[in-house]
Chains A and B, each alone.
Chain A
Amino acid sequence: MPPVPIADDLFTWPDDEPRLIGGRCGECGAYAFPLRTGCPRCGATAVERTLLERSGTLWTWTSQGFLPKAPFNGQFASADPFEPWFVGVVELPGQLRVESILVGCPEDGPAIGMPMRLVTMPFRTDEDGREIVTFAFTPDESSPDEGDLPVSPRTPGEADHA
Chain B
Amino acid sequence: MPDVAIIGTGIHRFGRFPGKPALSIAAEAARDALADAGLTWADMQFAVGGSYEVDQPDAVVAELGLTGVQFTNVYNGCATAGSALALARQTIGQGEHEIGLILGVDKHDPGAFTAEPEDYACPPWYGEMGLFLTPKFFGMKINRYMHDHGITHETLAAVAEKNYRNGALNPNAHRRTPLPAEKILGARMVNYPLTQYMFCSPNEGAAALVVCSADVAHRYTDKPVYLRSVATRTRRYGAFEVHTPSASVAADHVPAPTVDAARAAFEAAGVDPADVAIAQLQDTDAGAEVIHLAEVGLCADGEQNELIASGATEIGGRLPVNTDGGLIANGEPVGASGLRQVRELVLQMRGRAGERQVPGEPRVGVAQLYGAPGVAAVSVLST
Contact = CB atoms under 8 A, between A and B. Distances in A.
Contacts of B250: 30, 94
A32 B246 contact: yes
Contact of A62 (B114, B116, B127, B191): B191
Given A93-B249, A162-B199, 16 more contacts: A41-B248, A62-B136, A63-B139, A63-B191, A64-B133, A65-B191, A74-B129, A89-B247, A94-B249, A94-B250, A97-B246, A99-B126, A112-B143, A161-B110, A161-B111, A162-B196
Interface in B268-312: none
B183 interface: no
A148 B147 contact: yes
Interface stretch (B30-38, B237-245, B359-367): B237-245
A107 to B, nearest CB: 12
Contacts of A88: 140
Given A87-B136, A87-B140, A151-B146, A69 B128 contact: no
Nearest to A5: B125
Nearest to A111: B147
Interface string A85-97: 0011101111111
Contact of B240 (A68, A89, A112, A156): A89
Interface string B98-127: 000000000000111010110000011111
Interface string A125-162: 00000000010000000000000100110111111111
A109 interface: yes
Contacts of A65: 188-192
A142 B349 CA distance: 60
Size class of the contact patch on chain B: 35 or more
A1 interface: no
Contact of A101 (B130, B140, B150): B130
Nearest to B121: A36
Given A71-B127, A72-B127, A161-B111, A109 B246 contact: no
Contacts of A7: 123-125
Interface of B: 110-112, 114, 116-117, 123-133, 135-136, 139-141, 143-144, 146-147, 150-153, 186, 188-194, 196, 199, 201, 237, 240, 244-250
| 8 shortest interchain CB distances as A-B pairs | A62-B139, A71-B127, A60-B144, A33-B246, A63-B192, A72-B130, A68-B130, A157-B189
Contacts of B136: 62, 64, 87
B143 to A, nearest CB: 5
B131 A99 contact: yes
B249 A89 contact: no
A71 B144 contact: no
A65 B124 CA distance: 22
Interface in A94-124: 94-101, 109, 112, 123
B19 to A, nearest CB: 23
Interface residues of A, number: 57
Contacts of B127: 71-72
Given A60-B140, A73-B128, A40 B114 contact: no
Contacts of B139: 62-63
B264 to A, nearest CB: 22
A51 interface: no
Contacts, number: 160
Contacts of B112: 66, 68-69, 161-162
Contact of A6 (B129, B152, B188, B189): B129
10 contacts: A30-B248, A34-B246, A61-B140, A64-B136, A74-B128, A74-B130, A96-B248, A101-B130, A157-B190, A159-B188
A21 B153 CA distance: 37
A123 B111 CA distance: 24
Nearest to B193: A154
Contact of B150 (A31, A151, A160): A151
A35 to B, nearest CB: 10
A70 B116 CA distance: 9
A158 B140 contact: no
B189 A156 contact: yes
B150 A97 contact: no
A41 B136 CA distance: 25
A122 to B, nearest CB: 13
B147 A157 contact: no
A134 B125 contact: yes
A13 interface: no
A10 interface: yes
Contacts of B126: 99
B140 A109 contact: no
A161 to B, nearest CB: 6
Given A6-B125, A112-B147, A40 B245 contact: no
A93 B252 CA distance: 13
A10 B147 contact: no
A41 B250 CA distance: 11
